[in-house]
Structure formats: C-alpha cells, structure tokens
Amino acid sequence: MASGASSSPAAATPAGGVQIHQSRRLPDFLQSVNLKYVKLGYHYLMTHFLTLLLVPSMAVIIVQASQMNPEEINQLWLHLKYNLVSVIICSAFLVFGSTVYIMTRPRSVYLVDYSCYKPPEHLQVKFHQFMEHSKLTGDFDESSLEFQRKILARSGLGEETYVPEAMHYLPPRPSMAAAREEAEQVMYGALDNLFANTNVKPKDIGILVVNCSLFNPTPSLSAMIVNKYKLRGNIKSFNLGGMGCSAGVIAVDLAKDMLQVHRNTCAVVVSTENITQNWYFGNKKSMLIPNCLFRVGGAAVLLSNKSSDRRRAKYKLVHVVRTHRGADDKAFRCVYQEQDDVGKTGVSLSKDLMAIAGGALKTNITTLGPLVLPISEQLLFFATLVAKKFFNAKVKPYIPDFKLAFDHFCIHAGGRAVIDELEKNLQLLPSHVEASRMALHRFGNTSSSSIWYELAYTEAKGRMRRGNRVWQIAFGSGFKCNSAVWQALRNVTPSPSSPWEDCIHKYPVQLML
C-alpha cells in the first residue's frame, strides 16, 4: 500500500489546494540513459555465455559425425582404439561439457495459472458514498474533504471499487480482528479459486511466498495459509512485508530462485495489501491520497518447474529485473509511513516522488533493454549512446521501441498520472495501456496484485496468443522498480471465476479527462 500512492495524480500545495505541477511528472528518462545500466543488462545476457557457446559446438560435432561414411567411422574407431590418450581426452571433454551445461542451465519456471480475488458486491463504494462517509466520521476538516473530492475526480477510479467491511461502519472499526478478517477473505478467496482451477492439492505445494506491505501480524500471513490449508511441514514459506506495490514481482523472483534449487516442485505466490488498519484519519494532505486510491484486492499465482506442467501452463517466466534506489536518502524517504503532528499514522509522500520514480524506471528499462529488444534496436540505441558518451557527438539519443519487444503491457495501476506518463515516455499506444487503465477504473489500486488484474483483463478480451510477450512493471516504496517478462505458451483463455467474467463486455469505458 505504501508505494501505490506514488502514482498520485495531484499534490498538495502549502495553502492546502490541489494543483498539477510539471515537476510532479515523470522525467523524460529515455532521453538520458546511464551507460553502466546498459552494461548491466548485457552482463545479465552473458551470464550463461558458456551454455550459449557449448550448444552450437555440440551441434557442429553432431552434424559432422552424421556426414561420415562407415569407412571413416571405422578408421576413427581404430585410431581411438590404439590411442588411449585421445579417448580419455574426448571422454573427459564430453563429460565435462555435459555436466557444465546441465549444472548451469536454469530450470524453466512455468506459470500454471493464477487467480484474482473479486470482493462481494456489498463492499462496493461509490464516490458520493465515500465522501459522505468521510464527512460523517468527523475526522476530516473541510479543506481535507475538498482535497479528497478532487483526488477522486482525477484518480481514474470508477464507481465499483471495493473497501473493506470495517470501513463501511460509522464510525469505522479498524481493529486487528477486522484486519485479519480482510486478509483471510482476500487470500483464501484467491487460493480457493486457484486450487479449484488447477486441481493442485495443498500437499503438493513446496514453496509459499506471501507479500503484504503494511499488515504483518503474528503468526504471519504465510503461517495463516499453512494453517488453513494444512500445507506440509517441510514447506519453504516466506512472508514479505514493507516492500510496497512492487513486492508482487519480488515475490515471483524469490519463488523463481527457490525453484532453481528445489527440483520437481510447485510454488504459490500470494500478493495482497490490507486496508483496514491503514486508513488515515488525519488532515495532512500528503497522507490522504492513499485513502482515495487504494482498494481491496489480491492474487494467488501457481508456479512450477515440473516439465510435465508445461503442457497445461499459461506462461513461461523469461526475465525478472529488479532496481533498488534505497541507497539514496531522498528515494528512501519519498514514500514513508509515519505519524502526523497529532499522532495519526499514515503514508507520507515526498514532493520529489515523481522524479525519483522516473529515475528508478529509467534504470530498470535501461537494464532490461539488452535482454528483450531486437538486435536492430539494440544496435541503433547502443551506437547513439556510444557516440554521445565517448565522442561528444550532438546526436539525439535513440529511443528504443519497446513495442517490438512486447505484445502486452501490465503497468502497475497506481493512479492515472503514472500510466499517462509511461504511455508518453515509452511511446505506447492507448491499446497498450488499456488493461492498466481499466483495472484501475474497475478495481482501483490493489497494490502488488494490480498487474494480475491487468493480465486477467487481457485474457478476458481474448488478446493473448501463443508466443506473445507480456511486460509486468511495478514500482514501490524504498524506492524500487521491478519488471517481469512472461511468454505465452498457448492461446490463453480466462480461467473460471475470472474477476472480469461478468463485466468484460462493458470495457473499455470512456474515461473523463
């Protein structure tokens, strides 16, 4: 929850008004790139250089051997028969090469299926209900109420988003018990549907990763899931807290690393956020934005390294690139949970937030570029970068066309402003950001799970074809920007009980400017 406010469409002025400042926009990060991040991308690309070199060598040997006639094979056998040293060297080379290839080859990670939680209809909140409720609580002054009204109008949210049960009472009831109830409804709802759709037994799960930024009870959320589904005693479970809206990609990366170590197993990733105990009841403008943007949501993802699961899997994980700017003090404090002057807890947003987000995004996509862009784009980009860097040439930096690398984009639905700026900076078409805009409109900012609602939207529209590449990009407090790249293994259709199942025909909707 802490990081999603980074997408705020508006900012507070000292006088308490709301303005859209040019400084709050993302910088044009594709116009200025850092060579070291390009080098980092190529370093990732060449990590398995030995494997890339060995495979063609083995192929050449096999081709040459297939072209030999029986007489040549007989001569080679006689030569080897009386030359023990050659036999030992050849055997050692084959054994060593095969061993290195097997040991260094990363195991494929498949996304078997995933499920997004859809809250019950009685938890929906319309704008007028939100404002009326905020007024009746008595916690907000007129200036704060007007600020929230303007944020809602410009947020990109629709009238059918959900807030937790505790926020529907007057006065609200943000207790620990209510927060646990929200967590259980979201996590168990998503997991029940996932297990039903995949026919996976809880005992088959070997790895469990749960991420929730602001609600971390004891026992942990992961322990709650282990207890509910009676998962096996030797399960590798992890609970990630305080990592913001980009934690969903971090959780996938952790599960991927664990699947490289543990053979023939499945991993479940649960991404959610908890609103009940994290609603802000004060009047500091920079802390009010999360109230307007964040809504109930969560997702459960089933990953596997079993080769037998490839046939039924939807996607294969291709790349994960993570960027962390926490070493910089401004980046570290730009999204910060603290108490206001009267002791009320909330998430404070820095005025430098958009600039910091842009820097993190620039770093991430510069590293990702060499891994995903076609060679033609890389050559043009690299040539202009080198000319500018080493020859001081007055050439305009070449902006890579990421539309050539990806078929679908899932940009974290944190708010309308960042979606707008990413569309502009990456030179995307409205169709490329449609899933992000519609997920924000229908479900609001569901934090780390928003990228899964967006992927579900693309599937529900019937647009996911075999071989398509999907770019999931999310950012979070700290400050972090993380990307995951998936490749569709088949023409993907929505799974039963998709969150868009009963409303996809209404979308896309025309959004007000």
Q: Which two tokens stand for residue 24?
A: 């709050």
Give how far the C-alpha of residue 323 lies from the chain's centroid of Cα atoms, to the nearest Å.
Answer: 12
Distance CA 290, CA 286 (A): 9
Is omega for the bond preceding 219 within 30 degrees of 0, making it cis?
Answer: yes
Question: Are 293 and 279 a contacting pair, CB within 8 Å?
Answer: no
Catalytic residue among 116, 245, 292, 410: 245
Question: Are 190 and 300 a contacting pair, CB within 8 Å?
Answer: yes
Question: Are 490 and 466 a contacting pair, CB within 8 Å?
Answer: yes
DSSP secondary structure, 128-150, as one string? HHHHHHHHHHS---HHHHHHHHH
Radius of gyration for the chain, computed over Cα atoms and rounded to the nearest angstrom: 26
Distance CA 25, CA 21 (A): 7
480: left (phi over 0), alpha (psi -120 to 50) or beta: beta
CA nearest to 113, candidates 443, 498, 483: 498
- From the CB of residue 295, how many other CB atoms can be counted at a distance below 10 Å? 26
Residue with tokens 């430098």: 352
408 included as an active-site residue: yes
21 included as an active-site residue: no
324 included as an active-site residue: yes
Residue with tokens 């609200």: 172
Which helix or strand (DSSP H or E) is residue 247 part of?
Answer: helix 247-261
245 included as an active-site residue: yes
Question: Are 120 and 168 a contacting pair, CB within 8 Å?
Answer: no
- From the CB of residue 447, how many other CB atoms can be counted at a distance below 10 Å? 35
Distance CA 434, CA 26 (A): 19
CA nearest to 325, candidates 306, 346, 353, 349: 353
Catalytic residue among 211, 266, 441, 482: 441
481 included as an active-site residue: no
Distance CA 468, CA 365 (A): 19
Catalytic residue among 212, 412, 432, 468: 412
DSSP secondary structure, 411-479, as one string? E--S-HHHHHHHHHHTT--TTTSHHHHHHHHHH-B-GGGHHHHHHHHHHHTT---TT-EEEEEEEETTT
Q: Which two tokens stand for residue 323?
A: 């960027």
Residue with tokens 């070199």: 53
Catalytic residue among 274, 324, 432, 481: 324
Helix axes 450-460, 247-261, angle to 10 degrees: 90
Catalytic residues: 245, 324, 408, 412, 441, 445
